[in-house]
Chain A
Amino acid sequence: MKTFGGKVLFLDRADINTDEIIPAKYLTENSKEALKPHMLEDLKLEGFDPNAPAVKESRVVVARSNFGCGSSREHAPWVFEVNDINVVVASSFARIFRQNMFNCGMLAIELSDKNIDELFVYKGSDASISIDFDNDKLTVTSGKGCRTFSYHIAEFDKALVKEDGWVGFADARY
């Protein structure tokens, strides 16, 4: 199983698409590692600098609804993975991106709009998130204090994370 948690990258926008996460021109790479410098390169978000040190140090992404919409490219979870981001927290996900995350043994955690608002309170405060995978709990901590949220992940998705992805799961079973 992968390790989850660490510094948070807050992306205060809905409908962040996979073209923004990793532009199509990099889909000609045949290794995941080659994607690394290009994470969120085309993100349309005021004041966002994809090359800022804080972005590179992040381990968890927090965003609004419909995260990962658009192209099916698994390069989107991969570019997060090679940048050591194994968790995305959002109020909803596009189906293919969500499945790709779990298929790679990564976490796509849905929280209510209200909980996401409450998480965004920690934006700009050097926040970290820790994940209690067995108990489905997420804790955000910063100088502002800390707060724990419960979440729900489908049993199947949880099994994929435990087995580090769908290929291993399917190969053993089918």
Chain B
Amino acid sequence: MAMTLAEKIFSSHLREEPFPGAKVLNIDVVLCHEITTPIAINDLVARGKDRVFDTSKIKVVIDHVTPSKDTKTATQAKILRDWARRHNIKDFFDIGRNGVCHAIFPEKGFIRPGYTVIMGDSHTCTHGAFGAFAAGVGTTDLEVGILKGVCSFRQPETIRVNINGTMPEAVSAKDIILKVIKTLTVNGATDCVIEFRGNIVSAMSMEGRMTLCNMAIEAGGTSGVCMPDEITVDYLWPFISSGYKDKAAALDDFKKWRSDEGCNYKKIIDIDVTNMEPQVTVGYKPDQVKDVSELEGTPVDQVYIGSCTNGRIGDLREAAAYLKGKTIAPAVRGIVSPATPDVFKQADSEGIIKIFMDSGFCVTNPTCGACLGMSNGVLAPEEVCASTTNRNFNGRMGKGGMVHLMSPAVAAVTAVEGKIADPRKFRKEKI
């Protein structure tokens, strides 16, 4: 029978179906951060079950509040740190080596095609870019994942989104996913996997694919997925080369996860990007999306570039190309957070950090902090932030604040102008 990628992963990982429609899956990787994991750890300790199902399959990072800002966050970090040490979890990334979870875990090669991945973080869907089934879960699911290596799901249906055409200037994966969310609406993909296909996705870097899959949850999707291909193999090669005789062999192996011809989709959506403008959100829901030309001139107080959506090296390069030789508007606060130490070092070696600083941006350490108004970059009431993040919810970056979601290119030119601007009208420098 022809199957989707998600169906293949479900059938190969099925532990049991205790009741009709409830699929308990074996989990390949359980990812943990310091906000949602400590309560799971405390509960396991209280139950006398302070164990982990497989030390090598648990990956841990401190990323939301780092460096710790107060006693409470220092305590969260300590609970996670002590737990990782006592269970001898080797893949633990503490301050100095830590980065935004959905950027650092793929960078370390932890995610592979055909994997099941869970984390107590809704943007876990990012990892579907590798052809994995990756779902955000709550703390209880995380706790059971840590203890037993299983998690339950309803069998998701798959929505296929074909993204075709010719990529216009200054349009990126972020603009495309905003358009997809606008099309699907904020709950159009609930209990579904969103499969990104088409010539644009086939040519897209793993970074771009991660940006697409990252925001599947904003349409309610359980996981985003892309088909594993040569680009997937190239990205993972440093981590998998010992397991295959060459890249062609790896590709052959990965191909088995791809959705079959004739498989069953709940819905198929076609998006042609050829005439697409850069996209920007307005309001408090991520499906409230407009063309940048409709919002040009909207004043902003802060510009934030970073996060699991757009804090990778390609994102920083894109923004820096518009910032080189310019200074940001005097009334704007610019903040950039390279998503991982490797991104930071790479940006530094390419002169990108200097471009940001010369333009007037503050460069922070890798952290999720500003995206959810948690540890830095918090807005005052009535303030407006142009942001490359993933949520524009009421209060998301600070009570009473307003967030416009956009690509790194739009964010960069918006910082220069002090108001929402269209990157197609600006010169992009070589960096």
For residue A114, CB closer than 8 A to chain B, the reply is: no
- Given A28-B72, A30-B79, A170-B150, does the pair A165, B186 have CB atoms closer than 8 Å? no
Does B372 lie within 8 Å of A24, measured CB to CB? yes
Does B143 lie within 8 Å of A23, measured CB to CB? no
- Given A156-B19, A171-B49, does the pair A15, B141 have CB atoms closer than 8 Å? no
For residue B394, CB closer than 8 A to chain A, the reply is: yes
Does B150 lie within 8 Å of A66, measured CB to CB? no
For residue B198, CB closer than 8 A to chain A, the reply is: no
What are the residues of chain A within 8 A of B190 when measuring CB–CB?
66, 92-95
What are the residues of chain B within 8 A of A150 when measuring CB–CB?
none
For residue B251, CB closer than 8 A to chain A, the reply is: no
Does A69 lie within 8 Å of B374, measured CB to CB? no
Does A170 lie within 8 Å of B187, measured CB to CB? no
A157: nearest residue on chain B (CB-CB)?
Answer: B22
Does B394 lie within 8 Å of A42, measured CB to CB? yes
Query: How far, in Å, is B81 (CB) from chain A's closest CB?
Result: 14
B79, B136, B396: the one within 8 Å of A96 (CB): B136
Query: How far, in Å, is B44 (CB) from chain A's closest CB?
Result: 9
Bound-complex Cα distance A19 to B371 (A): 12
For residue B346, CB closer than 8 A to chain A, the reply is: no
A-B contact count (CB 8 A): 147
A42, A94, A103, A156: the one within 8 Å of B395 (CB): A42
What are the residues of chain B within 8 A of A95 when measuring CB–CB?
154, 190-191, 220, 222
Bound-complex Cα distance A166 to B121 (A): 18
Residue among A71, A99, A159 with the highest chain B CB neighbour number at 10 A: A71
Query: How far, in Å, is B387 (CB) from chain A's closest CB?
Result: 14
For residue A44, CB closer than 8 A to chain B, the reply is: yes
What are the residues of chain B within 8 A of A66 when measuring CB–CB?
186-187, 190, 220
What are the residues of chain A within 8 A of B396 when measuring CB–CB?
19, 24
For residue A17, CB closer than 8 A to chain B, the reply is: yes
For residue B21, CB closer than 8 A to chain A, the reply is: yes
Does B122 lie within 8 Å of A170, measured CB to CB? no
What are the residues of chain A within 8 A of B79 when measuring CB–CB?
30
What are the residues of chain A within 8 A of B191 when measuring CB–CB?
95
Contact pattern, B 388-427, Cβ under 8 Å of A = 1, otherwise 0: 0001011110010000000000000000000000000000
A29: nearest residue on chain B (CB-CB)?
Answer: B72
Among B31-39, B91-99, B303-311, the one that faces the other chain is: B31-39
Does B19 lie within 8 Å of A104, measured CB to CB? no
Query: How far, in Å, is A154 (CB) from chain B's closest CB?
Result: 6
Does A166 lie within 8 Å of B391, measured CB to CB? no
What are the residues of chain B within 8 A of A29 when measuring CB–CB?
72
Does A70 lie within 8 Å of B122, measured CB to CB? yes
Does A24 lie within 8 Å of B150, measured CB to CB? no
Enumerate B7-50 residues with CB–CB distance to A below 8 Å.
Answer: 15, 18-22, 24, 35-36, 38-39, 42-43, 47, 49
What are the residues of chain B within 8 A of A17 when measuring CB–CB?
393
Interface range on chain A: under 10, 10 to 19, 20 to 34, or 35 or more? 35 or more
- Given A23-B395, A156-B22, A174-B24, does the pair A103, B138 have CB atoms closer than 8 Å? yes
Bound-complex Cα distance A154 to B17 (A): 13
For residue A141, CB closer than 8 A to chain B, the reply is: no
- Given A28-B76, A156-B22, A159-B18, does the pair A171, B42 have CB atoms closer than 8 Å? no
For residue B147, CB closer than 8 A to chain A, the reply is: yes
A76: nearest residue on chain B (CB-CB)?
Answer: B138
Does A72 lie within 8 Å of B222, measured CB to CB? no
For residue B82, CB closer than 8 A to chain A, the reply is: no
For residue B148, CB closer than 8 A to chain A, the reply is: yes
For residue B73, CB closer than 8 A to chain A, the reply is: yes
Query: How far, in Å, is A39 (CB) from chain B's closest CB?
Result: 14
Query: How far, in Å, is B390 (CB) from chain A's closest CB?
Result: 10
For residue A83, CB closer than 8 A to chain B, the reply is: no
Query: How far, in Å, is B431 (CB) from chain A's closest CB?
Result: 34
Bound-complex Cα distance A16 to B332 (A): 31
Contact pattern, A 127-166, Cβ under 8 Å of B = 1, otherwise 0: 0000000000000000000000000001110010000011
Enumerate A96-135 residues with CB–CB distance to B below 8 Å.
Answer: 96, 99-100, 103-104
A23, A65, A170: the one within 8 Å of B148 (CB): A170
Bound-complex Cα distance A15 to B395 (A): 15
Bound-complex Cα distance A69 to B150 (A): 24
Does B374 lie within 8 Å of A167, measured CB to CB? no
Bound-complex Cα distance A111 to B120 (A): 28
- 16 further A-B contacts with Cβ under 8 Å, apart from A17-B393, A73-B36, A156-B21, are A30-B38, A30-B39, A30-B75, A66-B187, A66-B220, A72-B122, A74-B36, A92-B190, A94-B190, A95-B220, A104-B140, A156-B22, A166-B152, A167-B43, A171-B47, A171-B144
Measuring CB to CB, which residues of chain B are less than 8 angstroms from any residue of chain A? 15, 18-22, 24, 35-36, 38-39, 42-43, 47, 49, 64-65, 70, 72-73, 75-76, 79, 120-122, 124, 136-141, 143-144, 147-148, 150, 152, 154, 186-187, 190-191, 217, 220, 222, 284-285, 372-374, 391, 393-396, 399
In the A-B complex, list the 5 residue pairs whose CB atoms are closest, starting with the nearest: A156-B22, A74-B138, A100-B138, A103-B140, A156-B19
